[in-house]
Amino acid sequence: MTHDALLSAQDGLPPKLRFWAVVTVGLAVFLTVIDQMVVNVALPTIGAELGASPAATVWIVNAYQVAIMLPLLPLSSAGDIFGYRRVYLAGLALFGLASIGCALATSIEVLVLMRVIQGLGAAGVMSVNMALVRFIHPINRLGYGIGINAVIIAISAAAGPTLASFILAIADWPWLFWVKLPFAFLAFAIGLYTLPKTPRASHPFDGASAALSAVTFGALIFFIDSMSHDAPPLLIAAEFLVVVVGGIVLVKREMSVPQPLLPVDLLRLPIFALSVGTSICSFLSQTLAFVALPFHMQAIGYSAVEVGLLMTPWMLATAVLAPIAGRLSDRHPAGLLGLIGLILFAAGLAALVLVDERTSTLDMMWRMALAGAGFGLYQSPNNRTMQASAPRRRSGGASGMQAMARLLGQTVGAALTALAFAQFVDGNVVAMWMAVAFAMIGAIVSSLRLRDIANPEGPGS
């Protein structure tokens, strides 16, 4: 069997190539996830050294997030047409090159520009990541492969703040970007040889739909941000109008094409649509908790360092449960696993809201672990179902929609947290209870998938 034939295998790669492909994907996911965590911690330091105001400094993060979200669906469609491997490797290379630009930046304007380019590279990785995972692993081990991905995300998120603190303790902030460079190019070099070549769609790239998608979702991001920061009513109304009009035009256009950039064909599949809804609710809940919990814990007397250490069991529990849940999802329906996982997640969050000055360290740790375990139990099965319920030729659309659901949940969660802080004296408590509510809504949405238990994977085989 030739190397190209091995790379084009329809039901997963041979074990040796599969191992190195998993290494490539793991490194890329690690870099894109840890980047957000590391830079968040370093914002005050970077802003001070570049002489930027806090409002301007925040755009180091905002520009990156916007640059990821806007091209996600166009890039997932490009993956269907040009090959997921090409889009992935191009994104990885752009991410590495932009990291050099970030490290060399001497002004806030240049750094924000480089972060936009870096975000475009990260979008290339995120848009087709799950599509590649689907072709790397055999279908009967797809849940396990997705579980590995979830473990890497959890470990990256847990390690980010610690890594940032360590680097800033021994070096200047540009090293936050320099240290990622060798890993980016190592992943690129390995990926050139090991990532699978996948079937390509014959239809042309739809530039008009890509532009409409970028405008609509860009307006949505700014609308959500404006709602949480008391922007002028006229601006909020204008942004909302762009979202509504752009969304209507985009959906109407996509319903008339056989391979839509916005995967309305996949959203017609109940199990896919319900999995997307479950994902949005869960990440919305997780973001509300992640942002509000440190404030909640510091309000009852914990230091910033103690908060970071006490949140570690959350990440560790997610990392432990994710691969187990992935294996379970190869045999049991995601609707049931998601229902159980998100109920446990909600219970852990509710237990954390109820902590006070008398709560012991051990008592705090089991509450964190319960929340993390619940999230880990839900995540891998949900991601597997989103991929497996879509036809293989639409793996790019499913992958892009999965990333979009996560980012939408995170964006709305951050905005709702800011709104709670602005409107309520005990905004951290309100935000935490909102997190509990959205986790329960996610559990309910997940349970609706049990109606499709006789055909849990849809047409995706």
pLDDT surpassing 90 at residue 140 = no
Taking only the tens place, the pLDDT of each residue in 295-342 is 778 778 777 667 767 877 887 888 888 888 878 887 888 889 999 999
Taking only the tens place, the pLDDT of each residue in 6-26 is 444 456 778 788 888 888 888
- Whether residue 266 is found in the same domain as residue 198: no
- Whether residue 142 is found in the same domain as residue 289: no
CB 118 within 8 A of CB 95: yes
Residue written as token pair 């690690």: 30
Phi-psi region of 52 (alpha: psi -120 to 50; beta: other; left: phi over 0): beta
- Whether residue 331 is found in the same domain as residue 307: yes
What integer pLDDT is reported at residue 3 of this predicted model? 44
Q: Which of 172, 187, 206 is the last residue in one of the domains?
A: 206
- Whether residue 150 is found in the same domain as residue 277: no
Give, in order, the Cα–Cα distances in Å from 214 to each of 68, 73, 82, 437: 11, 9, 20, 30
**Token pair belonging to 91:** 């994104």
* Distance separating alpha carbons of residues 121 and 118, to the nearest angstrom: 5
pLDDT surpassing 90 at residue 369 = yes
294 Cβ contact list (under 8 Å, min separation 6): 304, 307, 311
What integer pLDDT is reported at residue 55 of this predicted model? 67
Taking only the tens place, the pLDDT of each residue in 195-254 is 888 878 777 888 888 888 888 888 888 887 777 667 788 888 998 899 899 889 988 888
- Whether residue 109 is found in the same domain as residue 198: yes
pLDDT surpassing 50 at residue 170 = yes
Give, in order, the Cα–Cα distances in Å from 111 to each of 52, 115, 117, 137, 166: 11, 6, 10, 38, 22
CB 300 within 8 A of CB 360: no
Which is higher by pLDDT, 421 or 449? 449
CB 76 within 8 A of CB 131: yes
What integer pLDDT is reported at residue 139 of this predicted model? 75
pLDDT surpassing 50 at residue 39 = yes
Q: At what angle do helices 395-423 and 270-299 cross, to 10 degrees?
A: 30
CB 390 within 8 A of CB 272: yes
* Distance separating alpha carbons of residues 80 and 82, to the nearest angstrom: 6
The mean pLDDT value for 25-32 works out to 86
CB 160 within 8 A of CB 37: yes
Sign of CA dihedral 101, 103, 105, 108: positive
- Whether residue 162 is found in the same domain as residue 196: yes
In the three-class reduction of DSSP (H, G, I as helix; E, B as strand; rest coil), residue 311 is classed as coil
**Token pair belonging to 150:** 């979830």
Taking only the tens place, the pLDDT of each residue in 70-82 is 888 888 888 888 8
Report DSSP state, residue 261.
S
At 123, the amino acid letter reads A
In the three-class reduction of DSSP (H, G, I as helix; E, B as strand; rest coil), residue 239 is classed as helix
11 Cβ contact list (under 8 Å, min separation 6): 138, 139
Taking only the tens place, the pLDDT of each residue in 393-448 is 777 778 888 888 888 888 788 778 878 887 888 888 898 999 999 999 999 999 99
- Whether residue 275 is found in the same domain as residue 324: yes
Report DSSP state, residue 301.
T
What integer pLDDT is reported at residue 334 of this predicted model? 85
Report DSSP state, residue 141.
G
% of the chain beyond a pLDDT of 70: 92
* Distance separating alpha carbons of residues 188 and 194, to the nearest angstrom: 10
What pTM was computed for the model?
A: 0.78
State which residues form the domain around 88. 1-206
**Token pair belonging to 95:** 């991410």
What integer pLDDT is reported at residue 171 of this predicted model? 83
* Distance separating alpha carbons of residues 156 and 122, to the nearest angstrom: 15
- Whether residue 195 is found in the same domain as residue 214: no
What is the pLDDT of the chain when averaged over all its residues? Answer: 83
In the three-class reduction of DSSP (H, G, I as helix; E, B as strand; rest coil), residue 358 is classed as coil
Among 255, 293, 282, 422, which Cα is nearest to 345's? Answer: 282
41 Cβ contact list (under 8 Å, min separation 6): 160, 161, 164, 165, 168
Taking only the tens place, the pLDDT of each residue in 111-135 is 999 999 999 999 999 888 878 888 8
Reduced DSSP (H G I as helix, E B as strand, rest coil) percent helix, strand, coil of the chain, to 5: 80, 0, 20
pLDDT surpassing 60 at residue 269 = yes
Half-sphere exposure of 176 (CA within 13 A, CB side): 29
What integer pLDDT is reported at residue 244 of this predicted model? 92
- Whether residue 423 is found in the same domain as residue 443: yes
How many domains does one find in the chain? 3
DSSP output for 377-399: HHHHHHHHHHHHTS-GGGHHHHH
**Token pair belonging to 96:** 């590495």
CATH code of 76's domain: 1.20.1250.20
What integer pLDDT is reported at residue 34 of this predicted model? 80
Which value, in Å, is the radius of gyration of the alpha carbons in the chain?
Answer: 21
Phi, psi of 455 (to 5 degrees): -140, 70
Our CA angle for 404, 410, 411, nearest 5°, is 85
CB 216 within 8 A of CB 242: yes
- Whether residue 221 is found in the same domain as residue 283: no
CB 283 within 8 A of CB 409: yes
- Whether residue 187 is found in the same domain as residue 242: no
What integer pLDDT is reported at residue 438 of this predicted model? 96
- Whether residue 283 is found in the same domain as residue 324: yes
What integer pLDDT is reported at residue 439 of this predicted model? 95
Taking only the tens place, the pLDDT of each residue in 376-385 is 898 888 888 8
